[in-house]
Amino acid sequence: MDDIVKQAMAKWPNVPHCLGWLGLDERGHWYLRDDHAQARGRFQSGVPGSKGSLLQHDKLIEFIHRNYAVDEKGAWFFQNGPQRVYVELAATPFVWRMSSDFKLTAQTGQETLAQTCFTDQAGRVYFETDMGFGLLHTLDVAKAAEGLEMDLWPLERVDAAEIPSRFAYTLSPEADNKKPL
């Protein structure tokens, strides 16, 4: 975490959390979700316009990556100075890219090694690593198949609906924090 973020947290310890305004899609792209996007539906809904606006500012994306973390409930967030901005996940907290030598790199730029490979009923490919659990980018599925043929990792089937609870993360901190009327 950036030192300036730690200093801001110490200076302003009681800033309210931000929910629903930032999303991570299945390809590792970040989206800002303004009121209009949020009104169109949940980030995970697939409703046109509900994802929000694709973030394209490299320095802001790098800042998010350096300050991306998880809380004790499995909800992922970006620590923006003193404010915790919770992330709506389309699938998983990490989206992996696979190199020619079978190493994984998260959307944050951090490298890790695969421990176990998983596939779900739709054919999506996931990896558990020492960093955590994530979805493999669709462009790298053929490379993963090559690694599986070489017996680089064990392969397990997993039900997509059970993934968040099995790997202890929250898809929608906003939905989890809504209070009934």
- Using one digit for the tens of pLDDT, what is the confidence trace for 99-142? 999 999 999 999 999 999 999 999 999 999 999 999 999 999 99
Beta-strand runs (E) in 42-181: 53-54, 68-70, 76-80, 83-89, 94-98, 104-105, 111-112, 114-119, 125-129, 133-136, 155-157
Domain ranges of the chain: 3-91+169-177, 94-166
Give residue 11's pLDDT: 67
Among residues 110, 100, 144, 150, the alpha carbon closest in space to that of 124 is found at 144
pLDDT band per the 50, 70, 90 thresholds, residue 8? low
Q: Tell me the whole-structure pTM to 2 decimals.
A: 0.89
Give residue 181's pLDDT: 40
Mean pLDDT of the chain: 92
Q: What's the mean pLDDT in 160-177?
A: 92
pLDDT digit string (tens) for 45-56?
989 999 999 999
Query: What CATH topology corresponds to 3-91+169-177?
Result: duf1285 like fold (3.10.540)
Give residue 82's pLDDT: 83
What is the C-alpha separation between 35 and 160, in angstroms, rounded?
Answer: 29
